[in-house]
């Protein structure tokens, strides 16, 4: 079993410990039939084609689609109705605030309610760069949407606090009116799940990390990229002092890549396109770049 499949298995164990359930074989149909979809922590256009197609189908049928991710995706343009752009590394805080939003008005256990009441909303919103008004809009959309789905992506499986994130997702599934779809890449779909017997307990949210410097997001190829490229915005090119077409090496990775300025990208996080069989680990990484021949 590879690293990605192992991370998915561990995530699912924590998720199930809080009552979360997942039947991926039926999940894409559920997504396609939803009135509201939240896509969180994954670049679904290249992570899972079946999930992406289901989200597109739902959007074409009038579903509201909320995309929560640090990087915008041009292949989601025309599909999403709300883009929520959070800081890389802040996923635990974002999921905690999302749980507080989606569980508002739901009957919870004393322990879960205490966890939600203890959240430092001001700190989490400030450090994740997601404001109260954005969560408020999510709540308003959910209130008028009968069939609601939360799609949880690959970014969360290898986060350092993935276990607590998974448990929060399990609470959302078991307590709220949202169905939760855990969306791995295609290789992990067939991983045998662990038999979970113990009830999980939510941990306090850890201080949110900061990602400064030259940051890349490890992703798989899609219709617009191949695994020989490092894609960055014009802003990233200036910050990294690179020109489009230059060959570079990335410390810790074999071989070289061609840096390409992608005008559809914004911000200072580049896309490091990997082979489909590669293990991404946590997908945001601070790296050292060097021009070939310099």
Give the pLDDT confidence of 176-204 residue by residue, as tens digits: 999 999 988 765 555 656 667 678 899 99
CA dihedral (193, 197, 203, 205) in degrees, to 10, reads: 20
The span from the CA of 201 to the CA of 283, in Å, is 26
- DSSP secondary structure letter of residue 199: P
Class of the CATH domain delimited by 3-190: alpha beta
**Closest CA relative to residue 68, chosen from 38, 89, 88:** 38
Residue 82 has pLDDT above 80, yes or no: yes
Say what percent of the chain tops pLDDT 90.
67
Residue 170 has pLDDT above 70, yes or no: yes
- When pLDDT is cut at 50, 70 and 90, the band that residue 222 belongs to is low
Domains of the chain by residue range: 3-190, 215-291
pLDDT for the residue 186: 61
The CATH label, of 2.40.160.10, 3.40.640.10, 2.40.40.20, 2.40.10.120, for the domain at 215-291 is 2.40.40.20
- CA separation (Å) from 190 to 1, 3, 181, 194, 197? 11, 14, 15, 13, 21
pLDDT for the residue 213: 84
């Amino acid at each position: 079993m590879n690293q990605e499949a192992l991370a998915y298995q561990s995530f699912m164990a924590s998720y199930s410990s809080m009552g979360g359930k997942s039947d991926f074989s039926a999940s894409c149909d559920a997504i396609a039939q939803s009135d509201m979809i939240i896509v969180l922590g994954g670049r679904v256009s290249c992570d899972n084609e079946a999930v992406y197609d289901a989200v597109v189908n739902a959007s074409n049928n009038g579903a509201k689609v909320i995309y929560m991710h640090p990087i915008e995706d041009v292949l989601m343009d025309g599909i999403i109705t709300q883009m929520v752009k959070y800081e890389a590394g802040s996923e635990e805080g974002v999921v905690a605030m999302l749980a507080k939003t989606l569980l508002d008005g739901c009957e919870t256990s004393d322990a879960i309610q205490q966890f939600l009441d203890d959240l430092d909303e001001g700190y989490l919103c400030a450090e994740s760069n997601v404001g109260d008004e954005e969560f408020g809009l999510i709540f308003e959309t959910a209130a008028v949407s009968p069939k609601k789905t939360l799609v949880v992506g690959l970014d969360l499986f290898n986060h350092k606090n993935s276990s607590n994130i998974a448990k929060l997702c399990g609470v959302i599934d078991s307590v709220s009116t949202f169905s939760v779809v855990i969306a791995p890449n295609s290789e992990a779909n067939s991983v045998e799940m662990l038999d979970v017997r113990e009830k999980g307990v939510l941990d306090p949210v850890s201080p949110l990390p900061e990602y400064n410097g030259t940051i890349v997001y490890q992703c798989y190829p899609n219709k617009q990229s191949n695994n020989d490229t490092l894609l960055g915005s014009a802003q990233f090119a200036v910050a990294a002092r690179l020109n489009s077409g230059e060959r570079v090496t990335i410390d810790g990775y074999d071989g070289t890549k061609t840096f390409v300025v992608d005008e559809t990208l914004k911000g200072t996080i580049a896309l490091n396109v990997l082979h489909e069989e590669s293990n991404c680990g946590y997908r945001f990484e601070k790296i050292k770049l060097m021009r070939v021949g310099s």
